[in-house]
Amino acid sequence: MELAWLIPVLPFAAFAVIGLFLRRQAELAGWLSVLAIAASCAIAWLLFFRMLGGAPPYEAQFPWLALGPDVALPFGIRVDPLAAVMLVVVTTVSLLIQIYSRGYLYEPEEAAEAGTGHPEADAAHGEAAQAHGEAVAAQADANERTRGAHGVRPPSAAEHGEHHGPPAPLVRDPGFGRYFAYISLFTASMLGLVLANNLLTIYLFWEGVGLGSYLLIGFWYTKPEAAMAAKKAFVTTRFGDFGFLIGILYLWWQTGVLEFGRLAELAETGAMSETVATIGALLLFMGAVGKSAQFPLHVWLPDAMEGPTPVSALIHAATMVAAGVYLVARAFPIFEHSPSAMLVVAFIGGFTAIFAASMGLVATDIKRVMAFSTVSQLGYMMLGLGAGAIGAGMFHLFTHAFFKALLFLTAGSVIFILHRAGAHDPEDIDPRDPPRAQDIRYMGGMWKRAPITGITMTIAALSLAGIPPLAGFWSKDEVLLATYERATHGGGAAYWLLLLFAIITVLLTAFYMFRVVFLTFAGSYRGPADPQYIKESPASMTLPLLVLAVPSVVAGLWGAPQLGHGFGHFLEGADFHGGEMNLPLALFSTLLAVGGIALAWLTYKNGSLLAMAMNPRPSAVYATLLNRYWIDELYMWLIDTFIINWAFAIDWFDTHVIDGAVNGAARLTGSIGNSVRQVQTGRIPAYALAVFGGLALISIWAIVIRPLFS
């Protein structure tokens, strides 16, 4: 247990070493980063098994900033079952994703030159490419410096009509070392967040996580979309964070403590009033809404897909977005103390689940579908928590981390394969469209060419859709059950409505997920690349896919009611009171999932509806979904109207009015001085007049002002 502090420190050390010394030693940087997280992962599993074996929670803290003789802000860590589960998830997923990244971060040489390229190298290519990579490192550096300045890529071989030339060789992304520094920083922050035992410490790492995500989303920062997306993500989550920070201050002012354990005591014994709990919980929840991309702060997550795909898998599937759910779980006693706060959490969660799923129905960018899916699934987790079942919410977080990371990584593999095969964008591509290598309308027929990617994505999709006995089925069932229980035990009409939302979402989820699967893998290839070069990704990428497929299948069994609710008992100990599986409910949701898959099959695989699906008639509903309910536009309008315009008004005022006034005054003084100099110089009466006049003015002023102060 005493080793717990090493878990975040090791990746942080990797970050520091890479950042300071190894920025140019790409290969070494990658390995160091992987080794550090592997060691953390081993320790995390060790702790996990000790917790499983019944070890008591471990807590350690020291005062950081003394605000008074007996008031100090603490820094502290806590290892308990909740933290242990998260540690295992975060380190394992992060380890696999870092291994995957080592294969992913290559780009075709011509793209590197033009600066719009994407990752890649396959195992056979890899060696040559890496050797080649060193040679062109200096040039790639220069490219990185000018990337984006060029804007327009020179026409590729494909566009010259040489369709049968082999695709360009691959070189390592020039930011390779930087990437691993960032990802280590991010992982360290996330692990610190998980270990935090008080609100201040969690906030500290919470911001660190946000910063890491900002840097990683904007990794290809010369791409304007990436820079914009990074900023949008950071600012949107910051908006939630400001509620979080106020919440911390509020709880501190009301209770004088910051430690989760002591706050829980206060809430459970009733020493904290329900009003305080409600206000505090809702303010904390603002932070969670931002981080976990819940409505109405969900807008950043789809855009965050501009980052490298492994980053999306790590940050936007398994770790950072789960931090909001984790925060609510950590502060759960405070939430539980306030039924109204619980209802808000449940409602935001349930609504987000169906709302995001609806947008996932029409997105054509493979990564954005995954993003909407993540938002929707996070909504499920919040719904589970809001229904009072911390076990259900956290269990869904646990299983989701594996199959969603797998989905993102398979999507990355697809993008990578198509990119390598030369899926270039046409010159006249509609700027609203995703790149061709990411657009599911321009995929297809990859089943035989990339079987590992295909099989693993199908497994993950089945798991997400909730087909028994895969992981997603068990955890989703727990969430539905918790909502149902709450509805039947005094939760009232609101929870019935939420249950309805959750059940409809099951159908939508199965449909949009298999829409992606069928459009990507079934039929024949419809895109611009030469199909003969479409082949499976290198082993460094497929291996993590295979490894992640295992928990995507079996992780759910740990919490299965038939097998003794292992997860719930571990997490909640004696407090756990999980019921039997509600068979009709489980059956019904499974049927809906199967129905959704069938519908997707009819629409996209069978072909009868294909033409319509590919070119949907522009209906109002379709346009609304495609434009994400115009919420982004609404926010932009609000920001423009209330912030940007004011900012420019102030800037204009300062540069024109004030500067003008000062310069004008100077000119005026100068010219008056010149004109009156000869007349007035040295005339004592004038000076006296000025002095006495001034005195008179001040006297009048004082008499007028006097009543105001007396």
Determine if 246 is a binding residue for other proteins (CB under 8 A).
Answer: yes
Measured from the CB atom, the residue of 182 and 558 that comes closer to other proteins is 182
- Choosing from 144, 485, 530, 572, the residue that interacts with other proteins (CB under 8 A) is 144
Round to whole Å and give the CA distance between 400 and 314: 12
Concatenate the DSSP letters of all residues of 351-369 into one string. HHHHHHHHHHTT--BHHHH
Round to whole Å and give the CA distance between 16 and 439: 37
Determine if 658 is a binding residue for other proteins (CB under 8 A).
Answer: yes
- Choosing from 8, 76, 218, 466, the residue that interacts with other proteins (CB under 8 A) is 218
Determine if 225 is a binding residue for other proteins (CB under 8 A).
Answer: no
Smallest CA-to-CA distance from 352 within 391, 384, 309 is with 384
Determine if 221 is a binding residue for other proteins (CB under 8 A).
Answer: yes
Round to whole Å and give the CA distance between 681 and 659: 30
Residues in the chain: 710
Q: What is the 3-state secondary structure (H, E, C) of 276-304?
A: HHHHHHHHHHHHHHHHCCCCCCCCHHHHH
Determine if 23 is a binding residue for other proteins (CB under 8 A).
Answer: yes
Do 288 and 393 touch, CB atoms closer than 8 A? no
Beta-strand runs (E) in 114-163: none
- Choosing from 52, 56, 64, 128, the residue that interacts with other proteins (CB under 8 A) is 64
- Choosing from 22, 32, 77, 245, the residue that interacts with other proteins (CB under 8 A) is 245
Count of residues interacting with other proteins (CB under 8 A) = 60
Q: Is the peptide bond before 469 cis (omega within 30 degrees of 0)?
A: yes
**In this chain, which stretch among 112-120, 218-226, 312-320, 333-341 interacts with other proteins, using CB under 8 A?**
218-226
Determine if 698 is a binding residue for other proteins (CB under 8 A).
Answer: yes
Angular region, 618: left φ>0, alpha ψ -120 to 50, beta rest: beta
Residue 365: strand, helix, or coil: strand
Residue 407: strand, helix, or coil: helix
Measured from the CB atom, the residue of 140 and 334 that comes closer to other proteins is 140
Q: How far is the CB of 469 from other proteins (least distance, A)?
A: 44
Round to whole Å and give the CA distance between 220 and 474: 38
Smallest CA-to-CA distance from 234 within 191, 186, 279 is with 186
**In this chain, which stretch among 57-65, 162-170, 372-380, 525-533 interacts with other proteins, using CB under 8 A?**
57-65
**In this chain, which stretch among 4-12, 385-393, 463-471, 662-670 interacts with other proteins, using CB under 8 A?**
662-670
Q: How far is the CB of 537 from other proteins (least distance, A)?
A: 28
Determine if 65 is a binding residue for other proteins (CB under 8 A).
Answer: yes
Determine if 227 is a binding residue for other proteins (CB under 8 A).
Answer: yes
**In this chain, which stretch among 298-306, 312-320, 565-573, 651-659 interacts with other proteins, using CB under 8 A?**
651-659
Determine if 234 is a binding residue for other proteins (CB under 8 A).
Answer: yes
Distance of CA 626 to the CA centre of its chain: 21
Which backbone phi and psi does 62 adopt, to 5 degrees?
-140, 155
Residues 68-107 vs other proteins: string with x where CB under 8 A? Answer: x---xx----------------------------------
- Choosing from 13, 211, 543, 554, the residue that interacts with other proteins (CB under 8 A) is 211
- Choosing from 12, 15, 179, 214, the residue that interacts with other proteins (CB under 8 A) is 214
Residues 625-644 vs other proteins: string with x where CB under 8 A? Answer: ------------------xx
Residue 587: Cβ within 10 Å count: 12
Do 248 and 199 touch, CB atoms closer than 8 A? yes
Residues 147-176 vs other proteins: string with x where CB under 8 A? Answer: ----------------------------x-
Round to whole Å and give the CA distance between 338 and 275: 8
Round to whole Å and give the CA distance between 549 and 124: 25
Q: How far is the CB of 243 from other proteins (least distance, A)?
A: 9
Determine if 257 is a binding residue for other proteins (CB under 8 A).
Answer: no
Round to whole Å and give the CA distance between 387 and 28: 48
The 3-state DSSP composition of the chain as helix, strand, coil percent (nearest 5) reads 75, 5, 20
Eight-state DSSP code of residue 428: T
- Choosing from 80, 109, 241, 336, the residue that interacts with other proteins (CB under 8 A) is 241
Tokens of 160: 């010259």
Binding site for other proteins (CB under 8 A): 19, 23, 63-68, 72-73, 141, 144-145, 175, 178, 203-204, 207-208, 211, 214-215, 218-219, 221, 227, 230-231, 234-235, 238-239, 241-242, 245-246, 249, 253, 643-644, 646-651, 654, 658-659, 662-663, 665-666, 698, 701-702, 705-706, 709-710
